[in-house]
Chain A
């Protein structure tokens, strides 16, 4: 079919697999940052300090409505202007972690808000401290609602890691591009990248759904 060369595919496959590792690492590290930071953003919007709530809310809106690509460039290039030099990996993780933290904070917020008022009141009646309330009563019940959103964004962050290629993170698309320009052949590398993404994201979506079901059963829902 059209000039597709299998021996070229075999030749470049090891490099693409290494790059796949980097893609997974970037997605995993970015997601870990987003999980923690997202919780901070979500809880900051529930404090009684109106100014803090307002600032965090607007910040989250701002990040959510501007392109991740631009944010990656911003983090990477603005640091050096003020004497702070960040490596591509560091700035990439900051940008993508921050971007998805904003999405996840909305997911958490939805989850927390779905917990009925009575649960809060019951926790107060038991004289729980605020940390106890969140840890023992609210968050365990917020998780089932938040899970599907969290799973979607895990796949989402994986599919957004190719943008890190623009600042030189050696993930899949970056490597495919270098292979393409070294050999003047883009058909195989880019098609292979597409296939690798499908091979990861389709099973991942299935696994996440399975995991979601298990957590729900475990929590007795």
Chain B
């Protein structure tokens, strides 16, 4: 069967799978960014308990693989009485994993803000929270955006794993179609191309645009 016949027949399923992949991507990204910010700030905190908690979190999520975390959240958490459906388990696992990597970026970004900025904010009597929010974080954000672009690609690729707990994303649909038709080259090839388009023509350009927009906002261009 040539590729066009194949696409004509299976595009609705591939499209719905792509939709689920995009939804997983967004939800995981929002969760991941929130966790990165919280853990990154906690790791820089003076409080030893907060710092210890952040280090433990980061080491656990970076030291084990995403698939293990996903299975753990999906199969083991219900035994503790926390029952979550597979769609939620999917983006929670991916988001928590990315959050651990993002936390290091946040920490690095904050540390890269020159000391004088901290002192200046102190000199004009800003409260610590206000100083972080108004002075430090915006500058840290500009510094850390380029590596975040790579992390977002990793995140998109990570969402493919949710298919293994039967979330009907693009990977899952491709596997199902392959199982019933055995047109492996067509279906997996198409799925690869779709992921590539999402990464190269949506995620990457958006991150580049964000980098430029943020730099402009801070008057760096």
Contacts and interface: CB of A to CB of B under 8 A. Distances in A.
Contacts of A202: 59, 63
B131 to A, nearest CB: 33
Interface in A56-94: 61-62, 64-71, 73-74, 77-78, 80-82
B171 A187 contact: no
Nearest to A79: B184
Contact of A3 (B67, B79, B158, B174): B79
B172 to A, nearest CB: 11
A177 B164 CA distance: 12
Interface string B154-170: 00111111011000000
A43 B53 CA distance: 44
Contacts of B79: 2-3, 186-187
A82 B183 CA distance: 11
B171 A67 contact: yes
Contact of A65 (B76, B157, B178): B157
A66 B76 CA distance: 29
Interface in A176-221: 176-177, 180, 186-187, 190-191, 193-194, 197-198, 201-202, 205
B188 A194 contact: no
A160 to B, nearest CB: 7
A69 B160 contact: yes
Contacts of A165: 67
B65 interface: yes
A162 interface: yes
**Chain A residues touching B, majority SS:** helix
Q: How large is the interface on A (under 10, 10 to 19, 20 to 34, 35 or more residues)?
A: 35 or more
A98 B200 CA distance: 19
B213 to A, nearest CB: 23
Interface residues of B, number: 42
A109 interface: no
Contacts of A158: 65
Interface string B111-145: 00000000000000000000000000000000000
Nearest to A156: B65
A186 B78 CA distance: 10
B167 to A, nearest CB: 13
Interface string A146-182: 0000000000001111110110000001001100100
A186 B75 contact: yes
B68 A81 contact: no
A67 B67 contact: no
Interface stretch (B33-41, B85-93, B190-198): B190-198
B9 interface: no
A78 B157 contact: no
B10 interface: no
A183 B21 CA distance: 33
B52 interface: no
B67 A163 contact: yes
Given A166-B164, A197-B68, 13 more contacts: A2-B79, A66-B157, A66-B192, A67-B156, A67-B158, A67-B171, A69-B171, A70-B171, A70-B174, A74-B188, A187-B75, A194-B72, A201-B63
Q: Which 10 pairs between the two chains have the least Cβ-Cβ distance?
A: A67-B160, A65-B199, A77-B184, A159-B65, A186-B75, A162-B67, A74-B188, A67-B157, A197-B64, A66-B195
